[in-house]
Amino acid sequence: MANATASVQRVRSIAGSPTSVQRVAIPRETVLLIVGGAVGLVFWVIGFLCDRGTLSLVLRPGEPTGVNVAIDFFVIGLICLIAPYGFAMTAKLRRISKIEERLPDFLRDVAEAGRFGMTLPDAIVVASTGRYGLLTDEIKKMASQLEWGVPVATALALFEERVPTPLVQRVVSIVTRANEAGGNVADVLTMVARDTREAQLSDASRRISMLTYVTVIYISFFVFLVTIYIMAAVFLPQMIKAGESIACSSLSGAGGVSLQYAFVPVLFLAFLVAVIVHAVGDGVMAGVLYNGRIAEGLQHATIMLSVGWLIMRFVVPVLTVKTSCGG
């Protein structure tokens, strides 16, 4: 009896009964974005205080507080902001993509059932017994709604709300209008299934062609990191040594030879900022090129930013400059 009461309440809620209570739930991705932003703000405040000298937190032992430490906490805060949302949103979009992948098969089965004289609701219920991967659960929900007497237009609209993609919206709109207009709905479903499959094949072909550009972006970013490492490990130390030798020799002085080696640490700081900017920009560009979505770009940006920051701060050698000839 309790199960029957729960089922009736569920049907009333699905059908939009006035007695039902509508609850608006915040998407999980939005919650992660808000929480990540709050955590990131904490790290940014810590970095600002370290830059001002109020705090003395360092991530690299033996390093004084300053701009480098502030950048460290800025990067960590930025990762906290974009990583949870980027990975969660990408997982959601990929799940929706897998659901859409079997949509043409479902439409084709519904069309075949309709050719035997079944109405659209009956054809959907019959087709729901098939296996359509991740789409199966959504189809079974829609079939259960139809069996409980929910109008087919409402059931399709609820399916569209659960899978809010342009492809599903277009399919639901066409099928709903065809059912309201009457006539041979099976032919319309067959045509929609064919067009949907062609759109999916075209999108898959575009992603394959764009994969080359994404690979080039990753390769160019890591080549940039290797170039910085070689400069910091080989070229810039020799430049500092030569500048210190000249400064402590008789060649220096008024009208003598000088080498501005004191600006080398500033140059390294510019490299660090360049890596951060390239990581975020290249990552977002990679996601937009591959899938046309910024959310997936945030995933690539997180990977590039994490690897680039770790290499720059913990792999690339630290460059120091002597302040005096005897130091």
Domain ranges of the chain: 26-101, 103-183, 204-244+261-314
What pLDDT does residue 247 have? 63
What is the average per-residue pLDDT within 129-156?
86
Decide if 313 contacts 228 (C-beta within 8 A): no
Most confident of 13-22, 64-73, 214-223, 232-241: 214-223
What pLDDT does residue 260 have? 60
| Per-residue pLDDT at 256 exceeds 50 | no
pTM above 0.75?
A: yes
Q: Compute the distance between CA of residue 163 and CA of residue 262 in angstroms, rounded to an integer.
A: 59
Residue 14 CA: distances (Å) to CA of 19, 169, 175, 294, 307? 11, 19, 20, 33, 47
What pLDDT does residue 40 have? 94
Residue 10 CA: distances (Å) to CA of 14, 205, 263? 6, 42, 70
Average pLDDT, the chain: 81
Q: Compute the distance between CA of residue 195 and CA of residue 288 in angstroms, rounded to an integer.
A: 24
What is the average per-residue pLDDT within 87-97?
87
Listed in sequence order, the DSSP H helices in 53-134 are 67-101, 103-114, 120-127
What are the phi and psi torsion angles at 24 (to 5°)?
-95, 110
What are the phi and psi torsion angles at 185 (to 5°)?
-70, -25
Of the pLDDT bands very low, low, confident and very high (cuts 50, 70, 90), residue 24 is low
Q: For a pLDDT cut of 90, what percent of the chain falls above it? A: 24
